[in-house]
Amino acid sequence: VPLAPRSVPLVRKEKWERKLPQRYVVAASPGANSLHLPLEIQSTDNAVQLSLNGLVDCGATSDFIDSTYASENRLPVRQLSQPIPVYNVDGTPNKAGSIRQVADVVLRYQGHSERVQLAVTRLGKQKLILGYSWLRKHNPEINWDTQEVKMSRCPSSCSTCTEESRQERRIARHLRCRHGRPQRRGYAATPGRRRRRFR
């Protein structure tokens, strides 16, 4: 008697994970004319703050961060319940394999601040890539002759930047409370009890 095929269990995804794309595309290796931006990123989970150069690449569908760089700098990541495949621009599977983690960070560039979700993968010599989704969202003014990028259209056309800037300030205050609040000397705080002074 032939055995009935096993049913594949459905994986219930969190709301944030359902917003991720079904597939990613990473472009080819950058050349001498590639555009890099001096960026600053800060984790939304802890006080990790990093300065780095990010590659602007319209051939990449989304935003990426190098897995080795994230690990070496102890950048917190979130695990995906299901891996998301990654392809090259020619449609072949990327050698780095599927995306299994993402990193939530605050991204800053020339006074522009926003929250972004970076897919974690191997990027070779690159540390971070801002892809087509970022370019389409903000439509920055790019001078290819001087390699200068201005976020000049955000105040008038990007309705999310102002709110994300407020969120970024709230995150910074929250992180200062968690990691940088000095403890008053001579006192011990006990839940449900009054503070008592050491002898």
Residues 104 and 117 sit within 8 Å (Cβ to Cβ): yes
Could you read off the pLDDT of 138-170 as tens digits, one per residue? Answer: 888 999 888 889 888 774 545 555 566 566 667
SS3 130: strand
- Domains identified in the chain and CATH numbers: 15-177 (2.40.70.10)
- pTM for this predicted structure: 0.70
Taking the mean position of all CA atoms in its chain, how far away is CA 171?
Answer: 15
| Token pair of 78 as six digits | 């979130």
Helix (H) or strand (E) holding 143: strand 141-143
Most confident of 26-30, 98-102, 121-125, 177-181: 98-102
| Token pair of 123 as six digits | 């990027």
The structure tokens 């990654």 sit at 86
